[in-house]
């Protein structure tokens, strides 16, 4: 395991302490978890880009969408109406 010195702005450190305490974890464990989550997110984005570049194309997407049936959504799957704008 490696040890590093990390400089955090006071505001970030304070919020990390609060969130770690709420999770019942140490600040160290909270930061390790946060870094691991960020690594996973970046690797996932890279993997998705690789897959899209290797296998995807707009033409393939349109062909797949063309196969979707033209039927109304099932009950509960409807798109909710847009919220009405308030008049001032």
The mean pLDDT values, 10 residues at a time, for the chain of 88 residues are 94 97 96 97 93 84 92 92 80
Tokens 């690797």 correspond to 43
Phi-psi region of 67 (alpha: psi -120 to 50; beta: other; left: phi over 0): alpha
Residues 22/47, Cβ–Cβ less than 8 Å: no
Would you list the domain boundaries of the chain?
A: 28-59
Residue 77 corresponds to which tokens in the numbers above? 């799957």
Q: Which residues of 30-39 are buried (b: 16+ CB within 10 A; e: fewer)?
A: bbeeeeeeee
pLDDT at 85: 79
The predicted pLDDT at position 35 comes to 97
Which pLDDT score is estimated for 61?
Answer: 87
Local structure of 45: helix, strand or coil: helix
| CA–CA separation, 44 and 41 (whole Å) | 5
């Amino acid at each position: 395991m490696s040890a590093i010195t990390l400089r955090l702005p006071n505001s970030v450190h304070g919020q990390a302490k609060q969130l770690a305490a709420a999770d019942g974890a140490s600040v160290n464990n909270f930061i390790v978890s946060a870094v691991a989550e960020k690594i996973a997110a970046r690797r996932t984005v890279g993997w998705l880009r690789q897959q899209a570049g290797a296998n995807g194309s707009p033409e393939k997407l349109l062909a797949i969408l063309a196969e979707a049936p033209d039927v109304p959504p099932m009950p509960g799957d409807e798109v909710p109406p847009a919220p009405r704008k308030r008049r001032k």
